[in-house]
Structure 1
């Protein structure tokens, strides 16, 4: 398959943990004594001005923190040594900790901010918090000055942050983590983010993004996590997603996506989570044409998928631990082959049009802790053991199946599942 990706190469997977350091500076690779190391004056002035732009003119850094990478560290600022001088490498802005600096209502990205020469990580958390006042947008100018340094860029829980994602972010070629969670960003997803081949994590959930997912996002062969959930995205799941060869988790839930699940998805050998729930996905369950040995969670609930369960290749997803196909318009019977999913812990098949009987082999799944089949057209008597009902309790849901019954002659009434009638031979 030709994915038309412009950039190829080998990527080293770097799992990066971004930690907000409270009032401390860290040593770099310099082997010399860092005690009393100076800070370049222009770097220091740029830091003061940048923070003042974020928190307000009331803040006087030069008076409060004359040695910001030494004996008077600034909350949320981390530094590193480069050629014997301190430089800012990490900024955490917002009300992350009890004594964090609050953001100003008229927050601005001052020109001096873009003069920080070695900035690697920038985070805004609970910073731009008032959507009822004048909203703040991300200025587009000068982000390219971080193109060779910035590795992590995050905006978390900023309901006052609106507007579009600057296309200039596409120039941040060292970026490994790009996170926008629970803001009010809108517009389309920038196409040139698909050119950031160093990306390991792309999370843009809980915003107001519209339009299609760019095809070239499937060219991010080093990507580990993609979360575009809780937006207003439309169109199909791109066929190019077969190029996400390193991907572990894909969450596209709670959007307006449509069309079929592309069979290219089944080529993702490292995929552990696929969540497409709460969309308009249709076309049946036809995507599993190869073994997806790593897949542990498959969540497709609340989609008009339709079709049946019989023709799905369950042997290709034998490591599944959670399967949620509730409210997907499924018809036909529940095949006995589902009981071969020995690692299954959660099975949701409720609110469909399934018919036939429940195989007692489902009750033999030793790891199963929740089974929901309510709201179907299932028939016959339940043939599970007393131990099964005791283990499951209310986590076994079988109500609203008018022709399904509980055989009290074989199993005690004390474990009778909620909402299931007694079989006829036990009725007076």
Structure 2
């Protein structure tokens, strides 16, 4: 096919040459553009005006000519829907000064060196699908080039060194590609550069001092790369800078005070780095700032008073740092501020009154140490009825007092979160005025009274969380009007009465938790309530229904029992004879006796059936045939013997078949089945997982296809799958045997009687723990590269080999299910409590590899603290993530470290790893890093000097 296309292009080219020889008026521009068009597909027919018979292309769509020379000066085909490749025809356009092919579907590499067009000033190839490296010599003759954009493509490799030849370059945009390595040093000498954007790549290295020579620079965007090191003082020499975006890298150190020289700057974004130190008064010199984002770093100290000098400020985000003290009162001068996010710091004092006086759209103060009353912050003398406030989050503080009744005056409010405080009083009726409210969370306070019926007018509400308060009374029937509701949690209150039957009309419900109340009566009907989790309605003594595991009493007419010995008129009277009462059985008693009989018969039947199944399975296991070789080497027998496939070798499996039902050989049990150890005929140990999801497993064809994919995965930190066994009623997975036991036992069981575990130690050193964390990260990064989500990451699924290296097990097993239904998954991996990402509870949020990142973050904290993800105390439940986050905010990180490590760890490594774990457990999936980024961060955290002193202590 390629030969045919090539021959056609040659014939077309020769045809045009012949036509040109017969018609001397046909210029090179027509020739070049027609050849260029021949390489393209034009599904929208945008290039229909391009006719090879025309004397000039100047009237063609997308073509502009110089009126004096009548030669093509600009080719602008943005958004034409073109596909194909960029052909050599462009090289005929000798006078072309602007080439813009943005927003098309062009593919392939840049095989045409358009950089050699000496008159070219602008190149824009953005938003296509170009791939591969940019040729090293592409920019060798680009002295006239003013602007180049390769943004939003798939270019890879290093940025060419020849870029330094573009001495007149003013705009360079290589963003959203896959460029890697270090930027050419010559870029920092292009003193005509006004805009540098290389964000969203894989670039690394530091910002050199030579940046000070870019005195024409207006904006620099290095976001989402792997840059390291400090920001040099010389950046202050770039006096014309208006925007600085260094976010989502690994920059470190303190911000240079020379930033105060950037008096024209309106945007500073240092989000998600490793910056430390304080923000001092120099920031007040940047009077034109509109956006300041310092979030997700390790800044400390007080927020400077001088920030009140920035009257133009619109967005201030200082979340996820270690700022202390109160927000300065001078901020009342920031009249234009719209968004203020100071969450997850160590701020103290009251909520400033100016917060409700400046007309902000979003106020986020969650997870600080704020005290006092919200009522005191809202000045009732000020008319706030037309406020713009849309988000108010003061959760996880130490606030007290009542919720102000004037909360209803914030009519634009969409999110109200006051959870985890010490608020008292009732929920005001005025909450019903919040018609735009999407999410209301008042959980974990001391609120009392009933849920106001006015809640039914909050028609936009999708999430209602009021758990762990002292609320009483009945659920208002008006709740059934909230047709958009998806998540409801009213657990751990004192609610009484019955659940309104009309709740069955809430067709969008995903979760509905009313456990630990005093509700009674029958659960509502409907699709959702028919499948509700029993834990969501538990601990309501008189609540009945299938989910409550309690039958509702059937209303039957009172039985009539005729007594032939009775002489009275009461048909129910029973005379006493010989000192005994005559006992008559009612219909309900008969039903109870009948039910008990059925249960007893059922138990006997199941017992007999189990004995028969065990006998059958023993015969099936003992009849497993020999087989070996690669994926194609399998042996199929009848349904009694099944099919065994080993991916390498031909082991004698029969000697280990007894282990399938031998409790002494059982290594453990998980959500997908039990694991047994057995020894093959060649003396090699293997681990066999007997799947317990037979009713959910795919067909044999699909099962084998998925298992073979898993068998091809090879990584030093992943447990190898060596084979499988299939019958319709029994499926086995055969894994390599890892001798060192699982991580859970190393962390939480200082001694063990399990003789199968060798090299067991009472505790792990810091270096061993760090290596385990790094190994797990590498294994997950490898899986994610293969588009495999683990789904079931936990310490019991991390095995330790004889050399102390981690090997992650149970990966990819969810692929054996017919569909990745999150209810099925959560029920299969319910033992992973505490590791599961919050999006598992929300059907509207896509399950991605960020779920694994969340579980990894929990695992990091578990490894460092030696504590389980969820620990049940006598009167409380301790969530590890919350406990560690609170300790970090309060400066008590050392108290969280495993006591077996005390005095034997480098704080400069442990603390950043703790913070990395907390970032990985962010409630918002997009805020969690990729595992590749995690590996890079761990590499930066690990000190170059050996920490043997800690291992030897």
Q: Per residue, is there more helix in 1 or in 2?
A: 2
Alpha-carbon distance, 1:74 to partner: 7.6
Alpha-carbon distance, 1:390 to partner: 5.8
Q: Which has the higher contact order (CA 8 A, sep 6+)?
A: 1
Alpha-carbon distance, 1:34 to partner: 7.4
| CA distance, structure 2, for counterparts of residue 422 and residue 222 of structure 1 | 54
Q: Is the 8 A contact 2:375 2:401 kept in 1?
A: no
Alpha-carbon distance, 1:238 to partner: 2.8
Cα displacement string for residues 131-183 of structure 1 (whole angstroms, at most 9, x for unaligned residues): xxxx5112334632x21x21100111112x11101221221111101110100
| Shift in alpha-carbon separation, 1:425–1:114, aligned structure 2, 3 A | closer
Q: Is the 8 A contact 1:291 1:317 kept in 2?
A: no
* Alignment correspondent of 2:262: 220
Unaligned runs of 5+ in 1: 1-23, 45-57, 77-84, 130-134
Alpha-carbon distance, 1:321 to partner: 1.1
| Shift in alpha-carbon separation, 1:199–1:32, aligned structure 2, 3 A | farther
| CA distance, structure 2, for counterparts of residue 125 and residue 305 of structure 1 | 37
Residues 260-409 of structure 1 aligned to structure 2 (within 5 Å):
260-288=302-330, 290-309=332-351, 312-314=352-354, 318-338=358-378, 342-385=387-430, 387-388=432-433, 391-392=436-437, 395-401=439-445, 403-408=446-451
Unaligned runs of 5+ in 2: 1-60, 75-93, 96-108, 127-141, 459-463, 475-494, 497-953
Alpha-carbon distance, 1:118 to partner: 2.0
| CA distance, structure 2, for counterparts of residue 304 and residue 252 of structure 1 | 15
TM-score by length of 1: 0.74
Q: Is the 8 A contact 2:195 2:219 kept in 1?
A: yes
3-state secondary structure, aligned to 2:182: coil
Q: Is the 8 A contact 2:374 2:403 kept in 1?
A: yes
3-state secondary structure, aligned to 1:366: coil
3-state secondary structure, aligned to 2:201: strand
Alpha carbon RMSD of aligned pairs, Å?
3.6
Q: Is the 8 A contact 2:401 2:425 kept in 1?
A: yes
| Shift in alpha-carbon separation, 1:33–1:303, aligned structure 2, 3 A | farther
Q: Is the 8 A contact 2:411 2:433 kept in 1?
A: no
Q: Is the 8 A contact 1:289 1:316 kept in 2?
A: no
| CA distance, structure 2, for counterparts of residue 239 and residue 34 of structure 1 | 59
Q: Per residue, is there more strand in 1 or in 2?
A: 1
* Alignment correspondent of 1:116: 166
Q: Is the 8 A contact 2:431 2:455 kept in 1?
A: no
| Shift in alpha-carbon separation, 1:162–1:317, aligned structure 2, 3 A | farther
Q: Is the 8 A contact 1:25 1:69 kept in 2?
A: no
Residues 7-406 of structure 1 aligned to structure 2 (within 5 Å):
35=71, 61-62=112-113, 67=117, 75=125, 87-93=144-150, 96-97=152-153, 102-103=155-156, 105-110=157-162, 113-129=163-179, 136-141=181-186, 143-144=188-189, 146-147=190-191, 149-159=192-202, 161-288=203-330, 290-309=332-351, 312-314=352-354, 318-338=358-378, 342-385=387-430, 387-388=432-433, 391-392=436-437, 395-401=439-445, 403-406=446-449
| CA distance, structure 1, for counterparts of residue 124 and residue 408 of structure 2 | 58
Cα displacement string for residues 262-305 of structure 1 (whole angstroms, at most 9, x for unaligned residues): 00001101000010000000012234355211011110000011
Q: Is the 8 A contact 1:407 1:422 kept in 2?
A: no
* Alignment correspondent of 1:8: none
Alpha-carbon distance, 1:376 to partner: 0.6
Cα displacement string for residues 170-211 of structure 1 (whole angstroms, at most 9, x for unaligned residues): 211111011101000000012111111111111110100000
| Shift in alpha-carbon separation, 1:106–1:180, aligned structure 2, 3 A | closer
| CA distance, structure 1, for counterparts of residue 125 and residue 455 of structure 2 | 62
Cα displacement string for residues 191-247 of structure 1 (whole angstroms, at most 9, x for unaligned residues): 111111111111110100000011111221100111011100000113101011111
| CA distance, structure 2, for counterparts of residue 274 and residue 336 of structure 1 | 24
* Alignment correspondent of 1:419: 466
Q: Is the 8 A contact 1:293 1:317 kept in 2?
A: no
| Shift in alpha-carbon separation, 1:27–1:227, aligned structure 2, 3 A | farther
TM-score by length of 2: 0.35
3-state secondary structure, aligned to 1:240: helix
| CA distance, structure 2, for counterparts of residue 324 and residue 344 of structure 1 | 11
3-state secondary structure, aligned to 1:355: coil
Q: Is the 8 A contact 1:288 1:316 kept in 2?
A: no
Structure with the greater alpha carbon radius of gyration: 2
Alpha-carbon distance, 1:25 to partner: 11
* Alignment correspondent of 1:16: none
| Shift in alpha-carbon separation, 1:121–1:31, aligned structure 2, 3 A | farther
Q: Is the 8 A contact 1:290 1:316 kept in 2?
A: no
